Structure 1
Amino acid sequence: MLKQIKEGHVKAERHNGVMTIEFFHPQSNSLPGAMLEAITHEIHGAGNDHDTKVIILQSGGERTFCAGASFSELLAIGTADQGLQFFSGFAHLINEMRKCPKFIIVRIQGRCVGGGVGIAAAADYAIAIEGADVKLSELAIGIGPFVVGPAVERKIGLSAFSSLAIDAAMWRDAEWARKRGLYVELHGTTTGMDESIARLANHLAHCNPEAMALLKQSLWKGTEHWDQLLLDRAAMSGKLVLSPFTRQAIEKFKKK
């Protein structure tokens, strides 16, 4: 299945029990609202598909896995309700990844910024390539990593999350991310990364689906309140994006 977005696409294809979901946007795989909704829809569908045993989530291109929120859509937000609606897209995606009964392997072939770090953190198993550096840039544009924060903190701990959130202008390299548990594996080549993903996906495709669903449920224990928490966080970001400081900061970033 291929769903065309205004710019870019989201496509899903199942082979031997493995559902591969790919998103692509020409602006460094940034995420407009329609793309967030499409990815969430595909994960939900795969989670309820009897013939899907495991999910691989990946992005197109080579340099950037995900640049986070679409700056164009952020600047188009005119009310707090519109802000809530946009940032709820990230909340719904993370919650869908969390509640999906199938394990989600995320392929990280390039840099992760903002919401991209959140997707990596919401993965059940993230496999990356050297050069897949990370940055939470939200504070630098006057917002804050509020929606993705719970997922990132859960994965790498409060101290590491704090360092990313506070020093929003600094990149941390992929090895930093691996040592703190954001990435499970780090590979020197795309071939090595893809071989490892294929091996794990094939193995999981032959495991007991009921056992995997119960294991995933146990691994995410204690996050049941995220359905409301992440929406509350989305409302915070939705209000902050309206401030003159934030709008000016986004304009500067967009011109770079």
Structure 2
Amino acid sequence: MTEAGHVTLAIDEAGIGTITFFHPSHNSLPGALLQQLAQTITQAGQEERVKVVVLKSEGERTFCAGASFDELIFIEDKEQGFAFFSGFAKVINACRTSPKIILGRVQGKAIGGGVGVAAATDYCFATQHAAVKLSEIAVGIGPFVVGPAVERKIGVSAFSQLALDATEFRSAAWAKEKSLYAEVYETVEELDAAVLAFAQKLASYNPEALSALKKVFWQGTEHWEQLLVERAGISGTLVLSEFTRSFIQGFKKSSR
């Protein structure tokens, strides 16, 4: 449990391990929550009872709002900046290196780091409300840490569109067309039924075969252990810029 947010892991009889995260500010991810999320993903991967993992958030219309502005505004030096953005690197690498297939359940908007979390899953389901936006360049940071995961799923061209058109949402239908989402449903009820049915199906398969297949899916990303850390350093430096500080302060004033 973290202050004003939490991450939980529940394992059912079929071996489906459901990881749920929550933060009252649109499921944004402060550093402590990022650390706990990465640890829980690793824990689920090591748990023998878990056959397949479902990654989801609480609430209805926002899957994840990305980095916590409340925390970003208080970063005072490169070390703190690096430590914060390393949290996103740890979450993505935890998904990447987990021996279990991870299903994403995206019920609402995914912004910034939230798009990266969705992209780090192996098979992602969403609702029609799950629009996506990479807002980082507008903030003055850039999607450096989550970029490799997003680009791997949707390709360089679509990633470039998201990264540069940073103030506009792209629809869930667009995200499905670009292969970020495998399926898109009209309602949360339909989403949950589909996620459960697919998870139960995977849980009945040979776990060794699934683990071997996951290694094939992620082949060529072994260097991410270092790459994402380097990217965290870039974002950790840029967050100290006058541009970024002014943007965040202005955003927070306008949202009061």
> What interval of TM-score do these two structures reach, taking the shorter chain for normalisation?
over 0.9
Report how many aligned residue pairs link the two structures. Answer: 253
- Partners of 1:126 and 1:71 lie apart in 2 by 26
Q: Distance in 2 between matches of 1:110 and 1:144?
A: 22
Distance in 2 (alpha carbons) for counterparts of 1:8 and 1:43: 16
Q: How does 1:47-196 map to 2 (within 5 A)?
A: 47-196=45-194
Superposed displacement of residue 253, structure 1: 2.0
**Aligned equivalents of 1:190 and 1:245: distance in 2?**
38
State the partner residue of 2:7.
Answer: 10
CA distance in 1, matches of 2:251, 2:134: 14
1:157 CA displacement: 0.3
Any gaps of 5 or more consecutive residues in structure 2? none
Q: Structure 1 regions of 5+ residues with no counterpart? A: none
Between the aligned partners of 2:6 and 2:78, the Cα distance in structure 1 is: 28
- Which residue type is aligned with residue 198 of structure 2? L
Q: Aligned residues: percent identity?
A: 55
What whole-Å deviation, never above 9, does each CA across 1:161-198 have from its counterpart, x for those lacking one? 00000110011011000000000000011111111000
Separation in 2, partners of 1:33, 1:254 = 19
Which residue is equivalent to 1:200? Answer: 198
One-letter amino acid of the counterpart of residue 106, structure 1? G
Opposite residue 152 of structure 2, the aligned amino acid is: R
**Which one-letter code corresponds to 1:237 in the other structure?**
S
Deviations 1:182-220 (A, max 9, x none): 000000111111110000110111111110000000010
CA distance in 1, matches of 2:183, 2:250: 35
Q: Which residue of 225, 231, 241 corresponds with 1:243? A: 241
Letter of the 2:162 partner, please give it: L
CA distance in 1: counterparts of 2:140 and 2:208, whole angstroms: 44
Deviation at 1:155, TM superposition (A): 0.2
Give the whole-Å Cα distance in 2 for the aligned partners of 1:112 and 1:254: 19
Deviations 1:109-150 (A, max 9, x none): 000000000011111011000011000000011010000000
* 1:32 aligned residue: 30
User: Where does structure 1 differ by over 3 angstroms across 4 or more consecutive aligned residues?
Assistant: none
The residue number in structure 1 matching 2:230 is 232
CA distance in 2, matches of 1:150, 1:78: 27
SS at match of 1:26: coil
